[in-house]
Chains A and B, each alone.
Chain A
């Protein structure tokens, strides 16, 4: 690697610049990882806890992005604020979808083949409808923090990455508190392990799962807003995230929310380093590589149950 730096002819400044490059790649990776955590948290709930393979989750995120785009373009409201307003809408959407999923597949024991096809169909239909309505041009939002960038020493902190990262961590903290300290939250964590005990306690597992899935989709609203802050969006962007999302879930360990954040950070850092030293066009392959390696060597993930 040092050969290529020498080739650029930086001479005596070589060492400083390589350290610069390294630390900026690292910080960029962490910021990216924070955002990835927001993207993945919904799947961590639906797949990690509820065992529902919702591969359409990125489609809902993109939907959130487009909603943020429209409202932001028409009314100028901050995208994150928009997403918070959209939380109940997405929640209801999620609850409704779970109900259909449960009636059609879970109850009949057909999740494997048909449930997957159902979500794939949803993913596909959502993407195509967005293409029909918005076309394939890239869309972006306007907000005060999208342009500027802070600088601490040699480290570049673009606000359009920093703000989503912080928002993501807030989201994560809120969810973790909810799952640990409220009755429904704990019931959600429990429903994965012991449905019978839950029923004996008077809680309906189906209702609990519906609430959990609703929450999962609600997070997509926020993630979507964060996404369009970080990068311009067009309908097929969702599919890039499927690999990332599941790679993070598996890496972090299914069913563990903190694991998701750690996995997200790790992936963010790996992707950042790959992009810096090998070029950004290899980024989609990174997540897949991570996923395969994890599945091959440590399928339980880092913090899995």
Chain B
């Protein structure tokens, strides 16, 4: 509930700033909040690394493009559809690869991104390698500029994702995920249906990522495979939770806000490539030095102070 209040504050506060850029940048940051949180459900909670976040994100985006060509639908519905499509793909891929070791799953996700990109590039209906145009309406009733509507939608999605993550953390499901992460064999021996839980995690994670991707074509106007499947999605989905902290729902949020803002600034001031380099270096550094991320550092610090 607090989250909704905070979200409301964020939205109306943003409207006070008369610069539309805030909404554009904010949309991207919120998108990353969803992606990072989604990644963390499978990665941080359950211990299975997904390198192909871009695949699920792009699935949502291309589902929108596909439907837009035949019959434009309202965005909330597109989000649901994007979520379903990505969720099903996540389920299918999980079913094929989750019975094996986590390493194989990770590699499969990486290959999935490449394969899907190949499929899309070869499929002219959704634009192929030339890309697809989506005309974005200029305004929408009640709210004003369309970008504010998109921002609001993504904000709602972020709240949803965070609520789900928080809910899982405190639930029986959360315990189950944690045991899979800690010791899958012992989890099975304790009665945890590991395959079923892993499939739930994969489907949920994939679905959320697809939902984040669904509005993207409207945001960007011109969708190219290279931007939908861009490497920045894979790296950021991993770097943000790992840097923020993977054990709690707060971690991906912190990571997304920090890194997301940092990148917005860096892209404008330096270059988008250098910005990605910084993210990559930070990821490597944090993974080596501070494995529990910022949340872990804070926890260690407060524990130290308590003594």
Contact = CB atoms under 8 A, between A and B. Distances in A.
Contact of B96 (A129, A283, A285, A295): A295
Interface stretch (B17-25, B77-85, B152-160, B283-291): B283-291
Contacts of B114: 239-240, 242-243, 284-285, 288
A295 B94 CA distance: 12
A231 interface: no
Given A110-B291, A128-B273, A129-B277, A120 B111 contact: no
A141 interface: no
SS class of chain B's interface: helix, strand, loop or mixed?
helix
Contacts of A128: 273, 276-277, 280
A53 B106 contact: yes
A138 interface: no
Contacts of A240: 114
Given A110-B291, A122-B284, A292-B97, A116 B118 contact: no
Interface string A248-289: 001000000000000000000000000000000111110111
Interface string A104-138: 10001010111011101110110111011000000
B211 interface: no
Q: Chain B, interface size: which category? A: 35 or more
Nearest to A244: B111
A136 to B, nearest CB: 9
B238 interface: yes
B118 to A, nearest CB: 5
Interface string B102-134: 111011101110110111011000000000000
Interface in A214-244: 236, 239-240, 242-243
B250 interface: no
A284 B288 contact: no
B238 A117 contact: yes
B280 A125 contact: yes
Contacts of B26: none
Given A113-B49, A117-B287, A295-B97, A287 B111 contact: yes
Contact of A295 (B100, B102, B277): B100
A121 B49 contact: no
B16 to A, nearest CB: 37
A281 B122 contact: yes
Contact of B111 (A104, A112, A242): A242
Contacts of A88: none
A113 B111 contact: no
B47 A288 contact: no
Contacts of B108: 288, 291-292, 295
A152 interface: no
Interface in B275-301: 276-277, 280-281, 283-284, 287-288, 291
A114 B115 contact: no
A100 B291 CA distance: 14
Contacts of B231: 124, 127, 236
Given A113-B49, A117-B238, A285-B119, A53 B287 contact: no
Nearest to B102: A112
Given A113-B47, A128-B277, A242-B107, A288 B112 contact: yes
B291 A132 contact: no
A246 interface: yes
B91 interface: no
Given A114-B287, A117-B238, A295 B104 contact: yes
A201 interface: no
Contacts of A247: 111
B274 interface: yes
A121 B243 CA distance: 12
Contacts of B64: none
B60 interface: no
Contacts of A291: 107-108, 111
Contacts of A26: none
Given A110-B291, A239-B114, A124 B119 contact: no
A291 B121 CA distance: 21
Contacts of A236: 231
Max count, chain A CB within 10 A of own CB: residue among B121, B231, B284? B284
Contacts of B112: 288
A299 B122 CA distance: 30
A75 interface: no
A121 B112 CA distance: 19
B280 A124 contact: yes
Contacts of A122: 284
A56 to B, nearest CB: 10
Contacts of B111: 242-243, 246-247, 287-288, 291
**Closest 7 A/B residue pairs (Cβ):** A243-B111, A121-B284, A125-B280, A288-B111, A124-B280, A121-B283, A53-B103
19 contacts: A100-B288, A110-B291, A112-B47, A113-B44, A116-B49, A118-B287, A121-B281, A125-B281, A129-B277, A242-B110, A246-B107, A281-B118, A281-B122, A284-B117, A285-B119, A288-B108, A288-B111, A291-B107, A292-B97
Given A116-B103, A243-B115, A246-B111, 9 more contacts: A55-B110, A110-B291, A117-B49, A120-B51, A125-B280, A246-B107, A288-B112, A288-B115, A292-B96
